[in-house]
Amino acid sequence: MAEKSDWRAILSAFLVGVAGAVQVGRVAPVTTFLQQDLQLDLFTLGWLVSLITLASAVFGLIAGYWVVRIGLRASIVTGALFMGVCALVSAVATSVPILVGARVLEGLGYLLVVVAAPTLIAHEATQKDASFALAMWGTFFTLGLSIAAFAGGMISEIIGWRGWFLASAGLVVLAALAALVSTPGDERHADARSDIWATVYAMPKASWLLGAAFLGLTLLSLSILSLLPTFLVQEYGLTPGSAGGVTGAVALTSIAGSLSYGALANRLSETGIASVASLFLIASAFPTFANAATAGQIVPFAAVSIFMSGILVAQTFSAVPRVARTPRLIGPSNGLVAQFGSVGALTGPPLVGALISTANWNAVPFVVAGFTLSFVVLFGLALSSHKASLSEEFT
């Protein structure tokens, strides 16, 4: 870790992550327009939401190795620019295959960003500032989704979904240029020349368990946020703009949750935080998708669910450098967490969308409950594995 925190670099990496998350969330607020324009069903729309995470789901760990060799700044800037180009192609797409193909390729740029950015933050923060800096990074995904929900619904009502896609492309390109001038130049290290398979072999068991825990957490949070606008439109008759605004406000509570993690970490054990937050998350998920409730009644419950998921996300990212054990393995560990999380992001919306099509919206809370419990168990196992490995070193 750095002797003095470079907050300029940390913030620029964070903002690129936010712009990348906007690309993940830019489809959800315009699903109604896409259905009308391209005659898409809910299952296909679910895949359009999540296909950007395909590359991360397949190549996350490998990317964790390669971003160190390529360079963190080069990876962040290249990834963001590539996302901007793909968003531009999506904006002018005239057929579903082109739209889907651009979404898949966009995931390559997203992968570079979400692996390199937290690794750069961990390198540029001091040990004292690392917990806060990584907790802040934990807000990037939901903040990006929130911006997409707010802006996407409103902009698309004015200039259409294609105009919204163009605006999002401009945003990520600007973030790339800011990162180019704000982050330190890349340096070659001896660790970067290590063999990829040796790196995989050296990965501690705790990193694998942490990644597996993050899979369920990403699946449940993205499912809630990506499907909530459609739920409000279909079940309560809200306009896409209004539904996007409500979802964006709900998503912002995740940021408060992530930032509150630092205060909670000084008062509660890690397992205690995970258990209490998960309990409230599950309890609030059931009334969120209750058809008997009014729109005004479900919003507070949805906010509680997302607030608690924000705590768990920050807890996960803060644990990565600790369980990685060595600076050389922070990048691959971030890649592993990104890979598992992207599997959840990739499969969550289409699977839940298919479930809703065959059952009803009341099935969503059971999905949330199941994957929340999986997070608690696997996160606890990751901490136990890390403590056991430390004990072995001193015996």
Q: How far apart are CA 79 and CA 282, in angstroms?
A: 35
Q: How far apart are CA 295 and CA 277, in angstroms?
A: 24
Q: How far apart are CA 122 and CA 297, in angstroms?
A: 40
- How many CA atoms lie less than 13 Å away from 158 in the CB half-sphere? 9
- Answer for the pair 318, 43: CB distance below 8 angstroms, yes or no: no
- Answer for the pair 377, 275: CB distance below 8 angstroms, yes or no: no
**3 state SS of 42:** helix
The reported pLDDT for the residue numbered 395 is 57
Assigned domain for 328 exists: yes
The distance of Cα 332 from the centroid of its chain, to the nearest Å, equals 17
Assigned domain for 242 exists: yes
Token pair, residue 86, equals 């793909």
Assigned domain for 73 exists: yes
Token pair, residue 184, equals 């330190």
Assigned domain for 244 exists: yes
Domain hosting residue 155, numbered range: 7-393
Q: Which spans in the chain are helix H?
A: 7-25, 31-38, 42-50, 54-70, 72-92, 96-124, 127-137, 140-182, 196-202, 205-236, 240-265, 270-288, 295-324, 330-358, 364-393
Residue type present at position 376: V
Assigned domain for 279 exists: yes
List the Cα angle 117/52/224 in 5-degree steps: 95
Q: Give one word for 379, left, alpha or beta, with left for phi > 0 and alpha for psi -120 to 50.
A: alpha
Assigned domain for 2 exists: no
Q: Please report where in the chains the tokens 């969550």 appear, as a residue.
A: 348
Given CA atoms 95, 96, 100, 106 in this order, what sign does their dihedral have? positive
Where does residue 118 rank: exposed (0-12), middle (13-18), buried (19+ CB within 10 A)? buried
The reported pLDDT for the residue numbered 281 is 93
The reported pLDDT for the residue numbered 212 is 92
Structural domain total, the chain = 1
pLDDT in tens, the chain (395 residues): 667 889 999 999 999 999 999 998 888 788 888 878 887 777 777 777 777 878 888 888 888 888 878 888 999 999 999 999 999 999 998 888 888 899 989 999 999 999 899 989 988 888 778 778 888 888 888 788 778 878 888 898 899 999 999 999 999 999 999 999 998 887 655 555 556 667 777 788 899 999 999 998 888 787 777 778 878 888 788 887 788 778 878 888 888 998 888 778 777 888 899 999 999 999 998 888 776 667 777 889 989 999 999 999 989 988 888 888 777 788 888 888 888 888 887 777 777 777 777 777 777 888 888 889 999 999 999 999 888 877 666 55
The reported pLDDT for the residue numbered 380 is 92
Assigned domain for 387 exists: yes
- Answer for the pair 18, 144: CB distance below 8 angstroms, yes or no: yes
Give the residue among 138, 129, 125, 115 at the shortest CA–CA distance from 261. 138
The CATH number of the domain holding residue 50 is 1.20.1250.20
Assigned domain for 1 exists: no
Q: Which helix (H) or strand (E) holds 269?
A: none
The reported pLDDT for the residue numbered 225 is 75
Residue type present at position 364: V
